[in-house]
Amino acid sequence: MLSAWIRQKYPNQIAGAVASSAPVWLFPGLSDCNGFSMTATNSFLKYGGENCVKNIQLSWSNIVDIGQSIDGKELLTHMFNICTPLTDVQNIIDYLSDFLGTISMVNYPYPANFLLALPEWPVKYLCTNLSAYDPQQPVVTRISLLAKAILSLTNYTGNQTCLDISTSSPSLDTTGWDLQTCMEMTTPMCASGPVNIMPPLNWDLKSFSISCQNRFGVSPRVEWPKVEFWSKSVHTVTNIIFSNGEIDPWSALSITNNSYVPFATVINISDAAHHLDLRTPNSADPQSVVKAREIEKQKIIQWIKEWKLKYRLLKFFNGIRSFISLLDYLG
């Protein structure tokens, strides 16, 4: 995002930009708030299967039902091995939905430690425990299988003693980002539809603004980023590559075709998660990623050549201008 915006605003200083997995249209009114959750759902359908998605969908209401009582909260605490006794069932729902979004985002074809230590194709790994679907299955059995699947990933290294549900990305402190979303980076997120791995969620600007005031004492500047970063009026931008992993949930909020950016380059990469094209090459990389990197490499070479030529011409004409000024002075 930053690379695209800095090229847009300062084309006289920035030769080009690779905006990989850049959700530049994440702001209110620019994209479907359901896009992130639906792309994540499609990733689960592709790599985990329909039964896995059905089990996850049913689990949300099951967790709410179990968590109605004190004994139910204790049971959920035990099932998910939560570090601190669960007092509000919404806390485990929020954690699980964030976690599913995270592994959709980092669904890489090899083990990685970007947001947390995970095996290759973590979505497929998680769904191994959820591959059988039985709508008549006892609620406790279904949630037990979900907990087993979640813990198989959160404790993939074997070093975890309990599940800390205060964050789904242990390597990140998201407080700063939360504050930004309450100011200039407001990101509408909702979840709906007959097939969706996320719990049902509505997004309302008024309610969101109240929560921002309560937490940080600030209100969203909803229109500011649209003006600052040109909204969808980006048809004149040049020398930007918008590369999108097709299984990256953030791609739903990015530029995925050239109709909006006819003078830029759009690359949609199959079987690629969040900025996989910018990661270190790996023998497990899909050919689509290898090809995308080659396109990016050639574009960067082209930009550098054009920039050097522009600089030489500018230097040449500045020299002529100085020479003419000298003649005028002497004459």
In the chain, where the domains are located: 2-21+224-330, 35-177
At residue 325, the pLDDT reads 82
- Most confident range, picked from 34-38, 131-135, 315-319: 34-38
Q: What angle do CA 201, 113, 288 make, to 5 degrees?
A: 80
At residue 124, the pLDDT reads 97
Q: Which residues contact 308 (CB under 8 A, 6 or more apart)?
A: none
For the cut 90, the answer to whether the pLDDT of residue 322 exceeds it is no
Q: Are 200 and 192 in contact (CB under 8 A)?
A: yes
For the cut 90, the answer to whether the pLDDT of residue 331 exceeds it is no
At residue 314, the pLDDT reads 80
Q: Comparing 2-21+224-330 with 35-177, is the CATH topology the same?
A: no
* 128-137, 155-164, 172-181: range with lowest mean pLDDT: 172-181
For residue range 226-241, list pLDDT tens digits in order: 999 999 999 999 999 9
More confident residue, 46 or 133: 46
Dist CA 118 CA 138 (whole Å): 30
Thinking of the domain 2-21+224-330, which architecture would CATH place it in? 3-Layer(aba) Sandwich (3.40)
For residue range 76-116, list pLDDT tens digits in order: 999 999 999 999 999 999 999 999 999 999 999 999 999 89
Q: What angle do CA 96, 98, 103 make, to 5 degrees?
A: 95
- pTM, whole model, 2 decimals? 0.91
Q: What angle do CA 270, 154, 117 make, to 5 degrees?
A: 60
CATH code matching the domain that covers 35-177, chosen among 1.20.120.980, 3.30.450.20, 3.40.50.10470, 3.30.9.10: 1.20.120.980
